[in-house]
Structure 1
Amino acid sequence: MCHKFIFSILVILNTTLALGQAENKATVSLQDCIEIALNNNLDLKSSTLRTESADINFRQSKNALLPSLNGNYNIGKSTGRSIDPFTNSYINEELTFSNAGLSLDAVVFNGFRLINSWKQQKFNLLASEMEQEEARQNLILNVTLTYLQVMNTRDLLNLAENRIESTEKQLERLKTLYDAEMGNPAEYRDFQGQMANDKANLMAAKNNYQDAKLNLKQLLNTKIDLEIATLDMPLEFNVYSESFEQVYDLAVKNLARVKADEYRLNAAHKGVAVARSQYVPQVSFFANLGTNYSSAAKVFNQGGTIIEDTGDFVTVNGQDYSVFTEKNLFTPEDISYRDQFDNNLNTVVGLAVSIPVFNGFRAKNNVALEKIKEDQASVELDRTKLELHTIIEQTYNDMITAYERFKVLEEQVVAYQESLRINEIRFNNGANTSVDYIISKNNHENAQISLNNVKYEYILRVKLLEYYKGNI
């Protein structure tokens, strides 16, 4: 349903831009606004990207536990004096060479550095997820509070419009008397001044309403002019059922902000363990497989024999005889690329131990730095709890005060409403002056504004307390 709604909003926007007609308004509920904000808000998108980065770091630290396997291959041509990779002797000719290898490296033990690093990144990921959830909860809360603020300013705008209507009725009646030169002309002028005052208040109310809607549109990251639907508001408010201590305990238990700081503290604990592993020797297993090829490599095949004079001779009975020898003839033949790779295979297997003897106190300083980060994370957690305690206590006290003011202002509105009714009758019958009526009218209308403001103030404080309880 959310996707359909957003699609319809985009259709409205495109239609408006294409036709260049008057600005369309889409009526949205509070839930609609929350869904749009969750899809569009830039701060929430940034928080989501940070969580995705933390997830990649976590997976990378987990994959670091696996052995590393790497292969290499090269082929090239050499001219001039060089070493034949087949015979390791110097040659002076054009040579084509190639090498290939495969290496394996696996950490057997390093003081649990890789395991603790993996756990540290896991806690960082959980913290980032909680920070994303906190951003989501804050966005929902801000949209809700801003939505209520729009409703409040709209109610005040309606009150300002009603104020003008009641003033206009009296002004029309007094204008008739003024034109007929009857009654007190000062009363007509008093109401002209009152009308100007009411119009000024109406302009201020319109501006406040537009500002509130602009703040809502900014949270939703939209340029469409939205018209909000009216929420069902309770006619009677009851005393808040839970105490401040109960709200605070639930906040410490449920709020994503507190959980994020707790995960950061756990990650700092693991950071200290990672740093301490630098004191421990590292044992690793390695293995290599290699081979090579050289165009200078030849195989010589026997192709027959010949009789050659050796240049030597033997003397028999005073007679010299030449010495001949039978010599084998060999025909050179290139060794194929594949055969050389098969014949030249070599393997290496071993165990390596790296023992830290002295590293300029780097390990010691790293441990000290990680301990400081651990203390900082602990301080941040304590600060968060302290700030929550202060904010929740203040919000709770403001809620109680708003509730008590609401009850008092309800009585005030009833009293001023009856006073206005009486003064209006007396003024219409000439028993009261316009000043008395205007004072009574302003008292009643100002009391309505105060009651409307404190009503929303109470609702806002209740919404905040519900947020701190983890109910958003």
Structure 2
Amino acid sequence: NINLVANSNLTLFAGQQITNSIKQNQTDIEAAKFNVLATENNITLNVINLFINVVFAKEQLNIAENQLATTKEQLTVTTKLVDAGSLPLANKLDIQAQNATNELEVINASNNLRIAKLNLAQSMQIPFDNRLEVITPDLNPENYGLTQKVVDEIFEIALELMPEIKAAQLGIESAEFGVKIAKAGFLPTLGIGASAFSNYIDQFFMGERPDFSTQVRNNFSNSANFQLNIPILSNFRNRANVQRARLQKRLSEIQEEETRNQLRQDIESAYTNAYAARQSYQASQIRVSSLEEAFRIAQQRFDAGAINFADYQLAQNNYFNSQADLVTAKYTYIFRVKVLDFYLGNPLKL
């Protein structure tokens, strides 16, 4: 025997469970898109920071090489004076020691540049090659002005722009659909169903065996029905579903509030750091100017034999260290300004 059965069911009403499920899934997709944008923003900020680190390392290497060149020049002059008997041998030995120290500083600065390039290449997921060169834009701090807006203004702008805020808000919306879906479990459902049946019997009838299509056609029957399901007892399952959905909504609201608070804290930190970095940069400029003049005078006095090498070396180290500090302050300031620009929705360009 062969039995052929076909059934079909269509839900006519289910408390908008299907509609709300579709809306919830669409909301979740939109939230996921904003989460992707938030991740892209974080990656962009990180790459900019790593790029600035490369440029910073290049300038630090340049400072170390200049200091070494200055020491080598002084060593040449001192060697001639020692050979002529004008200066004691100890002066030459002191400068040779300083020269070795400066050579080590150049090596260290070169290694730091290599590491900075490596970090940048890895963040961009490209093969590392120490020959990698970055095009250094005009990173004059004077071209990177601080915004005149206060924290509250920046925060209000960021609330409308930051994708993590939009994702958190959509999380609440999705949870609201979840509550509606759970509540629909208390409502009746109405559906319509249809079925069709036929069969084939491989037996002779009155000396004949009807063919397959004839038997199927002659034995065919169908029916239709309405299905009404009224939830009376569900072992508290529906109530538990509603409680879980409401809890999820509350968690989403807490997550959104935490995201807002974190954003405000990040902006407050960025604002404070940017202003502190500008003050540090301005102070470093003054310090470099003063120590440059002090080193120039010390060099003249050392050449004239008016001061010993220890005093000369101190003036030299103070000057070149101040240059290194200025470079640090310069790039710290530029990056802090770009972070504030990011929260204001300005392009992340150097």
8 A contact 2:28–2:174 mirrored in 1? yes
**Relative to 1, partners in 2 of residues 1:235 and 1:376: Cα closer, same or farther, differing over 3 Å?**
closer
1:169-184 alignment runs, 5 A limit: 169-184=73-88
Q: Please tell me the root mean square deviation across aligned C-alpha atoms, in Å.
A: 1.6
Residue of 219, 223, 229 corresponding to 2:135 = 229
Question: As a proportion of its length, which structure holds more strand?
Answer: 1
**Which of 209, 212, 222 does residue 347 from structure 1 map onto?**
222
Q: Deviations over 1:174-232 (max 9, x none)?
A: 12223333313222222122122222322322222222222212211222313222122
* Corresponding residue of 1:295: 202
2:53 is aligned with what amino acid? Q
User: Which residue of structure 2 aligns with residue 431 of structure 1?
Assistant: 306
Is 156-165 or 241-250 further displaced after alignment? 241-250
Report the equivalent of 2:100: 196
Whether 1:446 aligns to 2:331 is: no
Q: Could you list the per-position Cα deviations for residues 312-367 of structure 1 after superposition, in whole angstroms to 9, with x for gaps in the alignment?
A: xxxxxxxxxxxxxxxxxxxx222111222222221111110111111111111111
Equivalent residues in 2 for 1:28-427 (5 A)? 97-225=1-129, 226-234=132-140, 236=142, 237-296=144-203, 298-300=204-206, 332-427=207-302
Query: What secondary structure is seen at the aligned counterpart in 2 of 1:197?
Result: helix
Structure 2 regions of 5+ residues with no counterpart?
A: none
Tell me, in whole angstroms, the C-alpha distance in 1 between the residues paired with 2:137 and 2:201. Answer: 84
* Aligned counterparts of 2:3 and 2:157: Cα–Cα separation in 1: 66
- Give the distance between the partners of 1:154 and 1:344, measured in 2 at CA: 89
How far does residue 427 in structure 1 lie from its aligned partner after superposition?
A: 1.8
How many residues matched? Answer: 344
1:228 is paired with a residue whose SS is coil
Report if the CA contact (8 A) 2:141-2:334 is conserved.
Answer: no
TM-score (ref. length: structure 1): 0.70
Instruction: Describe the SS at the equivalent of 1:227.
Output: coil
Deviation at 1:299, TM superposition (A): 4.4
1:456 aligned to which of 331, 337, 340: 331
Distance of 2:303 and 2:197 partners within structure 1 = 111
SS at match of 2:342: helix
Q: Which of 392-401 and 236-245 deviates more?
A: 236-245
1:367-415 CA distance string (max 9 Å, x none): 1111111111111111111111111101111100111111111111111
Instruction: Name the CA distance, whole Å, in 2 between partners of 1:399 and 1:463.
Output: 9
Give per-residue Cα distances to partners, 1:127-174, cap 9 Å, x unaligned.
101011111111111111111111111211111111111111111221
Shift of 1:99: 3.2
Q: C-alpha displacement at 1:257, in angstroms?
A: 0.7
CA contact (8 A) 2:141 2:333 kept: no
Q: Which has the higher contact order (CA 8 A, sep 6+)?
A: 2
Shift, 1:421, TM fit: 1.7
Helix, strand or coil: the match of 2:200? strand
CA offsets, 1:292-327, max 9 Å, x none?
A: 22212x443xxxxxxxxxxxxxxxxxxxxxxxxxxx
CA contact (8 A) 1:395 1:464 kept: yes
Structure 2 contact 6–197 (Cα < 8 Å) conserved: yes
Mean CA deviation greater in 219-228 or 230-239: 230-239
Deviation for aligned residue 1:441: 1.2
User: Is contact 1:255–1:469 with CA below 8 Å preserved after alignment?
Assistant: no
Q: 1:291 to 1:167 in 2, by over 3 A?
A: same
State the identity %.
28
Q: Is the 8 A contact 2:145 2:337 kept in 1?
A: no
Structure having the larger proportion of residues in helix: 2
The CA distance in 2 between the partners of 1:141 and 1:256, in whole Å, is: 14
Deviation of 1:235 after TM superposition, in Å, equals 5.2
1:89-110 Cα deviation digits (max 9, x unpaired): xxxxxxxx33333322111111
**Residues 288, 319 of structure 2: 8 Å contact kept:** yes
Distance 2:141 2:243 in 1: 61
In structure 2, the residue corresponding to 1:103 is in which secondary structure? strand
Distance in 1 (CA, whole Å) between partners of 2:146 and 2:175 is 43
Q: Which moved more, 1:169-178 or 1:390-399?
A: 169-178
